[in-house]
């Protein structure tokens, strides 16, 4: 019988660990899974153990030379000077033992998720270990070694001949995926993020629309710093609906960085739990409308792993399972179990407390700028030129 959803998980996904103090911390996967288990939202038969990506699969989106360097770095055989040419051994993306194996497992997890859906075993699939959208063909960048989305999209094209809509709601621009498919008209990349005027990686302007045959299949929606729920969601809903209608995908792959939240230490957006409740709903709706329901979701950024990510990511799974979003208090057991480890006071309810932050003085300007940006970004499809 076809499952409603598959939860791709193995404790080995936590081996992708740069150091104890690095902001990218996969413990958030455990925290999320544990929260979902506390509310009895996951059954054991829904958990699928990820496989590792083969070299051949990694080669779909990465250079042989780069894979070879990562393998050597895995065994501690690469100097910092050589590593930095390939973006590894840097403060952002340091070396760590067995980094090749750990990275290949995250890619394999996303491939496993795709197989679950495309082979008809499951309606939806979720791999929280994936979403490493900054990885380039021959270079690591911004905490990302191999780019699971890029490999997975190539895999979807080659094995299933699918037209893919990639949707990236991480607060950072999904540059690695965009550049990989910049010339390809059968893949549409969609990224909503904090403007690159200040934030890493700096790209993701509305003027980046694709190149050559792929012109018109890259979409970027850079929102201003301090953008709040209402404006963020308005841009996301309007834009994604119009882009899906325009592109008519066979399958939707969503990258679900949870770093657009007010608490996130690395970004400057003022999102709350409301956007994380809403983001998966729209993705699922559109997948049902255009793709016969084929929707695969992966993780991404998210650096407040205690107060933000577990609650935010839970909504992905709950939406897949069509379980109504819980409200009110979080399970007491979960709070009791994790509060001692958390350096900050956990939020005790599914919703964020009211008045999370001081009102933003330039709110009107910010919303107005975002609205203008939306019109510019969608001009191509609305006016057909």
* Shortest Å distance, C-beta 102 to other proteins: 19
**Toward other proteins, which CB reaches closer, 225 or 380?**
225
Measure Cα distances from 171 to 26, 157, 238, 278, 361 in Å.
18, 27, 18, 16, 21
Stretch that binds other proteins, among 237-245, 279-287, 316-324, 360-368 (CB under 8 A): 360-368
* Shortest Å distance, C-beta 143 to other proteins: 6
**Toward other proteins, which CB reaches closer, 34 or 92?**
92
Cis peptide bond prior to 201, omega within 30° of 0: yes
Cβ atoms within 10 Å, residue 85: 13
40 is catalytic: no
Residues touching other proteins, count (CB under 8 A):
28
* Shortest Å distance, C-beta 17 to other proteins: 15
* Shortest Å distance, C-beta 170 to other proteins: 11
Cα angle 288-293-299, degrees, rounded to a multiple of 5? 110
Q: Does 17 bind other proteins (CB under 8 A)?
A: no
Q: Residues 221 to 260: which contact other proteins by CB under 8 A?
A: 225-226
Q: Does 32 bind other proteins (CB under 8 A)?
A: no
Q: Does 45 bind other proteins (CB under 8 A)?
A: no
The 117-146 site mask, x for binding other proteins (CB under 8 A), equals -----------------x------xxx---
Beta-bridged to residue 176, according to DSSP, are none
The CA distance from 57 to 136, in Å, is 15
Q: Does 268 bind other proteins (CB under 8 A)?
A: yes
Sheet holding 164-168, edge to edge: 47-48, 3-8, 122-127, 295-298, 251-255, 164-168, 187-194, 218-223
**236 Cβ partners below 8 Å, 6+ apart?**
169, 192, 221, 275, 278, 279, 282
Instruction: Give me 309's structure tokens.
Output: 């990510």
**54 Cβ partners below 8 Å, 6+ apart?**
none
**Toward other proteins, which CB reaches closer, 234 or 268?**
268
Catalytic residue of the set 62, 100, 133, 134 = 134
* Shortest Å distance, C-beta 247 to other proteins: 26
Long-range CB contact pairs, 284-288, < 8 A, 24+: 284/124, 284/319, 284/320, 286/240, 286/241, 286/244, 286/252, 287/251, 287/252
Q: Does 360 bind other proteins (CB under 8 A)?
A: yes
Q: Does 266 bind other proteins (CB under 8 A)?
A: yes
The CA distance from 140 to 100, in Å, is 12
Q: Does 82 bind other proteins (CB under 8 A)?
A: no
Catalytic residue numbers, as ranges = 134
In the complex, which residues of this chain contact other proteins (CB under 8 A)? 23, 80, 90-92, 134, 141-143, 172, 175, 196-203, 225-226, 265-266, 268, 270, 360-362
């Amino acid at each position: 019988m076809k499952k409603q959803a598959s939860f791709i998980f193995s404790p080995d996904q936590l081996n992708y660990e740069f150091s104890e103090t690095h902001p990218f911390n996969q413990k958030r996967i455990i925290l999320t899974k544990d929260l979902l288990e506390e509310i009895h939202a996951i059954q054991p038969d829904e958990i699928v153990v990820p496989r590792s990506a083969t070299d051949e699969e990694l080669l779909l989106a990465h250079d042989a030379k780069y894979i070879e360097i990562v393998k050597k770095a895995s065994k501690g055989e690469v100097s910092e000077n050589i590593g930095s040419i390939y973006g590894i051994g840097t403060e952002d993306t340091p070396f760590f033992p067995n980094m090749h194996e750990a990275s290949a497992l995250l890619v394999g997890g996303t491939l496993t998720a795709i197989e679950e859906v495309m082979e008809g075993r499951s309606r939806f699939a979720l791999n929280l270990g994936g979403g490493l959208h900054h990885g380039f063909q021959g270079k690591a960048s911004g905490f990302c070694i191999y780019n699971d989305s890029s490999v997975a999209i190539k895999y979807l094209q080659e094995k299933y001949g699918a037209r893919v809509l990639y949707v990236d709601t991480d607060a950072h621009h999904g540059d690695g995926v965009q550049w990989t498919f910049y010339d390809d008209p059968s893949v549409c990349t969609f990224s909503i993020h904090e403007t690159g005027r200040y934030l890493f990686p700096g790209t993701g302007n509305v003027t980046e629309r694709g190149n050559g045959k792929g012109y018109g299949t890259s979409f970027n929606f850079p929102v201003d710093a301090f953008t709040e729920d209402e404006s963020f969601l308005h841009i996301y809903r309007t834009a994604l609906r119009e882009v899906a209608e325009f592109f008519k995908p066979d399958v939707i792959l969503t990258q679900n960085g949870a770093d657009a939240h007010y608490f996130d230490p690395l970004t400057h957006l003022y999102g709350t739990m409301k956007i994380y409740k809403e983001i998966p709903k729209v993705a699922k709706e559109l997948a049902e409308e255009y793709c016969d329901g084929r929707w695969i979701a992966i993780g991404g950024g998210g650096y407040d792993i205690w107060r933000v990510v577990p609650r935010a990511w839970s909504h992905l799974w709950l939406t897949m399972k069509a379980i109504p979003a819980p409200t009110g208090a979080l399970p007491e057991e979960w709070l009791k179990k994790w509060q001692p480890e958390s350096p900050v006071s956990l939020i005790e309810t599914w919703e964020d407390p009211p008045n999370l932050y001081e009102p933003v003085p330039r709110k009107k300007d910010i919303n107005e700028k975002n609205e203008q940006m939306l019109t510019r970004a969608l001009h191509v499809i609305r006016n057909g030129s």
